Amino acid sequence: MQQTIISKNKESFVFRELNENDAKRLGNFFSMLTSDTRAKFGPHPLTPEYAEKLCSSIDTTKTIRFIVENSFEVVGYFIIDFTPFENEVNRYLSYGTNIDSKIDPVFAPCIADKYQNCGIASQVMTMIIDYAASKNIRSLVLMGGTQESNLLARAFYNKFGFVEYGTFFTEFNNVDMRLCFADTQK
């Protein structure tokens, strides 16, 4: 799967699955993320070493990772993870909703700072939604929710039909959001 993306300022990018040759580029992408973005996106260590580890242990039955790139660099990274994370399962149970990680994986997106708000993830999202449908995924659950103050992300998720299920507090308020593809939100 490889698809073209054109940003709002008419730059062209490719969206594709991560592969074992991407370690260096992905590591550079992680290294370049600012503290502001790291404060909002922290699914795992964002280091070149961790990029090596990810690229040398790809197992798409467990986790699917996508990147957006141009000829110079990776500018976006998207995770769909089928691991049953106890925190997520328990929080959703507290909202009266059973999530099953085999069909309700967690989802986490990140765009490089200088490319944020250029329409890139919006185009990726339509591709991810098609991909999810083709894999019989029932819903995407936001990994760790999103920070209540992250207005861009919340507007972005709302635009694609993610629904807010509840809030929880870490050092700040977070909002649990989930996008259902079936006609039920249970």
Ligand X SMILES: CC(C)(COP(=O)(O)OP(=O)(O)OC[C@H]1O[C@@H](n2cnc3c(N)ncnc32)[C@H](O)[C@@H]1OP(=O)(O)O)[C@@H](O)C(=O)NCCC(=O)NCCS
Residue ranges in contact with ligand X by CB under 6 A: 37, 40-41, 109-111, 116-122, 142, 146, 150-153, 155-156, 159
**C-alpha to C-alpha distances, 95 to 61, 65, 166, nearest whole angstrom:** 28, 28, 7
Distance CA 25, CA 9 (A): 23
Q: Cβ of residue 119: shortest distance to ligand X, in angstroms?
A: 5
The three-class DSSP label of residue 27 is helix
Q: Cβ of residue 144: shortest distance to ligand X, in angstroms?
A: 7
For residue 178, what are the contacts with CB-CB under 8 A and spacing of at least 6?
92, 97, 99, 104, 139, 140, 141, 142, 162, 163, 165, 185
- Closer by beta carbon to ligand X, 26 or else 142: 142
| Contact indicator for 43, 107 with CB cutoff of 8 Å | no
- Closer by beta carbon to ligand X, 97 or else 146: 146
- Closer by beta carbon to ligand X, 136 or else 142: 142
Q: Cβ of residue 32: shortest distance to ligand X, in angstroms?
A: 12
Q: Cβ of residue 169: shortest distance to ligand X, in angstroms?
A: 16
- Closer by beta carbon to ligand X, 48 or else 119: 119
